[in-house]
């Protein structure tokens, strides 16, 4: 086998063979920017533009724990993910320890704000981001709490914006509209516009920034999302992937970690272009089967499809409303949502053990209630009964969104539990999450727009946010050290 450069008759994804399905694929990689720090800024607007350090195992005033996320401002002082808090404090003292009148105290201009991790709040924000992504793409792979791949081929295309060649074409084919994104794209494409729509929705509705990469395959989209952080949009059209990747260091190739980077450097392979052109037989000797695969990715060749992860853990729907306190409107909405959720569960052949509701009070106070059942059931009437009973707590509340969810799903063929002794009026199992201090945002009503709450579009499988208690180091420039599964 020769080097990674395609030979005669071979093409890269997005170049040449128009019959290849991968040519037209549009993949977005959505990567939240310093997610934990962004969440803290969401509820503490005074943290904007401040160096922010979020620590695991950290309590205010302590020097123990590790850095979970360092904002970009904090990283300018050398603070990085997974760094001990004690080391971070040497580089960036606490703002609380600053005193402009004390010559021995830290300079306030060279201090940062240190906060403990609040996983429940971050999962809550992640749920809103997830809701948007599920509304924007039927095919998704949610990798973690702050990262997801979207295949939006059925929603957009690589055609130049303005409809070149169409019946309503008012675009000069000699001078198409220029791209407004970073990256090698010269003309503005429909794919760019859709990616910007996704990005803008996340910031507008969830209140946190994201960087988005758009490319014909997963690995290139991943690299693109990292290329212009924070708050970036990078578009890599078909035919330009290899050129885009070539000058980047091997560490930027998706799948190359520090050990592999060192192994490649020992063989004189410093850039993605070097890796793409390297002899793949020798790469296999050094790295096993991963070697040739990394070479193909560096050459822009990645035919993996965006695939969901696992069976759903919940099925749910929500409706955004003009802010209302009208009891009948709220009950009618919840009844309709309950019927739809129960229908979807029956269509999928799954039973459920928990029934819950969501009520969002303006501006962004998210409340959830849930009730556990004695065993798995398929009972649409019970879903409505329990949901309406849980809703009574919010009879007097002004709400802008309502949702219904069934969870703890059981897809196995099994007998239902009997419900003798189940008290529909029992409030046991209720839990409440409340988000406060989200800033002065208006009560946006979407006029009854129906979307999924932490779930997929109608007639699609979905799941609820996974726990982020089990953590592992991410090890990228993003600066967030630890991420759990965002299933």
- 168-215: per-residue pLDDT in tens? 444 555 667 888 888 888 999 999 999 999 999 999 999 999 999 999
- Indicate the pLDDT class of residue 105, thresholds 50, 70 and 90: confident
Task: Decide which of 241 and 478 is more confident.
Answer: 241
H or E, element range at 143: strand 139-144
Report yes or no: 366 and 434 within 8 Å, Cβ to Cβ: yes
Kind plus residue range of the DSSP H or E element containing 272: helix 272-277
Position with higher pLDDT, 224 vs 120:
224
Q: Does residue 147 carry a catalytic annotation?
A: yes
Q: Tokens for 136, please give them.
A: 């924007």
- Residue 476 pLDDT > 80: no
Residue 433 has pLDDT above 70, yes or no: no
Torsion angle of C-alpha atoms 74, 145, 339, 418, degrees rounded to 10: -130
* pTM, two decimal places: 0.61
**pLDDT at residue 455 greater than cutoff 50:** no
Tell me the mean pLDDT in the region 245-252: 95
Length of the chain: 487
Asked whether residue 22 carries a pLDDT value surpassing 70, the answer given is no
- Range in 220-234, 305-319, 393-407 with the lowest mean pLDDT: 305-319
The one catalytic residue in 73, 128, 147, 384 is 147
| pLDDT exceeds cutoff 70 at 454 | no
Closest CA to 219 of 245, 191, 183, 196: 245
Q: How far, in Å, are 159, 224, 303 from residue 189 at the CA level?
A: 5, 16, 22
pLDDT on residue 450: 36
Would you say the C-alpha torsion 72, 76, 80, 85 has a positive or negative sign? negative
DSSP 403-414: EEEEES-B-S--
**Looking at per-residue confidence, does 309 or 346 come out higher?**
346
Average pLDDT, the chain: 79
pLDDT at 237: 95
Residue found by looking up tokens 């759990």 in the block: 484
> Quick one: average pLDDT of 448-458?
35
Which of 3, 26, 1, 2 lies closest to 13 in space, CA to CA?
26
C-beta of residue 316 within 8 angstroms of C-beta of residue 453:
yes
User: DSSP alpha helices (H): ranges in 111-168?
Assistant: 119-136
Whether a cis peptide bond, with omega within 30° of 0, leads into 436 is no
For residue 193, the model assigns a pLDDT of 95
* Of 280-294, 416-430, 448-462, highest mean pLDDT: 280-294
Q: Which two tokens stand for residue 201?
A: 């929705």
pLDDT digits (tens, 9 = 90+) for 296-319: 999 999 999 998 876 678 888 888
State the burial class of residue 193 (Cβ atoms within 10 Å of its Cβ: 0-12, 13-18, 19+). Answer: middle
Phi and psi (nearest 5°) for 200?
-65, -35
pLDDT at 59 over 70: yes
What Rg value do the Cα atoms of the chain yield, rounded? 25
In sequence order, what are the beta bridge partners of 212?
30, 233
Given a cut of 70, whether residue 418 has pLDDT beyond it is no
Q: What is the pLDDT of residues 74-102, one digit of tens each?
A: 999 999 888 889 999 999 999 988 877 77
Q: In percent, how much of the chain has pLDDT > 90?
A: 53
Report yes or no: 213 and 225 within 8 Å, Cβ to Cβ: yes
The token pair that represents 194 in the structure block? 């859709």
Position with higher pLDDT, 106 vs 278:
278
Q: In sequence order, what are the residues at sequence separation of 6 or more whose Cβ sits closer than 8 angstroms to the Cβ of residue 48? A: 41
Query: Which tops the pLDDT comparison, 373 or 320?
Result: 373
Helices (H), 327-445: 327-347, 380-391
pLDDT of 318 = 84
Q: How far is CA 225 from CA 27, 73, 123, 229, in A?
A: 11, 20, 22, 7
Could you count the other beta carbons within 10 Å of the beta carbon of residue 430? 15
């Amino acid at each position: 086998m020769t080097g990674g450069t395609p030979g005669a008759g071979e093409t890269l994804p997005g170049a040449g063979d128009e019959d290849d399905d991968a040519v037209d694929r549009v993949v977005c990689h959505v990567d939240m920017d310093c997610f934990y720090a962004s969440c803290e800024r969401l509820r503490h607007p005074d943290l904007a533009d401040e160096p922010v350090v979020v620590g695991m195992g950290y309590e205010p005033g302590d020097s123990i724990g590790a850095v979970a996320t360092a904002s970009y401002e904090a990283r300018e002082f050398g603070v990085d993910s997974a760094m001990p808090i004690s080391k971070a404090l040497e580089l960036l003292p606490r703002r609380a320890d600053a005193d402009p009148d004390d010559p021995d105290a830290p300079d306030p201009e060279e201090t940062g704000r240190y906060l403990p991790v609040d996983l429940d709040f971050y999962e809550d924000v992640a749920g809103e981001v997830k809701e948007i992504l599920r509304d924007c793409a039927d095919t998704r792979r949610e990798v973690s709490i702050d990262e997801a791949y979207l295949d939006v081929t059925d929603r957009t295309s690589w055609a130049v914006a303005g409809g070149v060649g169409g019946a309503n074409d008012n675009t000069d084919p000699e001078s198409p509209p220029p791209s407004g994104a970073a990256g090698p794209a010269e003309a503005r494409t429909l794919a760019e516009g859709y990616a910007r729509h996704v990005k803008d929705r996340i910031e507008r509705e969830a209140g946190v920034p994201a960087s988005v990469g758009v490319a014909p395959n997963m690995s290139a989209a991943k690299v693109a999302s990292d290329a212009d952080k924070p708050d970036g949009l990078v578009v890599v059209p078909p035919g330009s992937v290899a050129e885009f990747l070539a000058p980047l260091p091997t560490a930027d190739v998706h799948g190359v970690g520090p050990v592999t980077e060192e192994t490649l450097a020992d063989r004189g392979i410093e850039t993605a272009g070097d890796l793409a052109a390297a002899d793949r037989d020798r790469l296999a000797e050094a790295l096993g089967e991963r070697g040739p695969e990394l070479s193909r990715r560096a050459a822009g060749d990645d035919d993996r499809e965006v695939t969901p992860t696992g069976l759903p853990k919940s099925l749910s729907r929500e409706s955004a409303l003009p802010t209302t306190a009208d009891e009948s409107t709220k009950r009618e909405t919840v009844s309709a949502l309950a019927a739809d959720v129960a229908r979807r569960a029956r269509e999928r052949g799954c039973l459920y053990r928990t029934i819950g509701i969501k009520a969002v009070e303006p501006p962004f106070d998210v409340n959830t209630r849930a009730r556990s059942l004695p065993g798995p059931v398929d009972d649409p009437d019970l879903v409505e009964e329990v949901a309406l009973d849980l809703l009574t707590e919010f009879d007097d509340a002004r709400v802008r969104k309502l949702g219904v969810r069934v969870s703890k799903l059981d897809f196995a063929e099994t007998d239902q539990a009997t419900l003798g002794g189940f008290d529909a009026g029992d409030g046991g199992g209720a839990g409440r999450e409340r988000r406060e201090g989200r800033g002065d945002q208006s009560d946006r009503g979407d006029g009854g727009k129906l979307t999924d709450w932490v779930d997929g579009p109608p007639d699609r499988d979905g799941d609820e946010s996974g726990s982020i208690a089990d953590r592992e180091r991410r090890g990228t420039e993003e600066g967030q050290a630890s991420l759990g599964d965002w299933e």
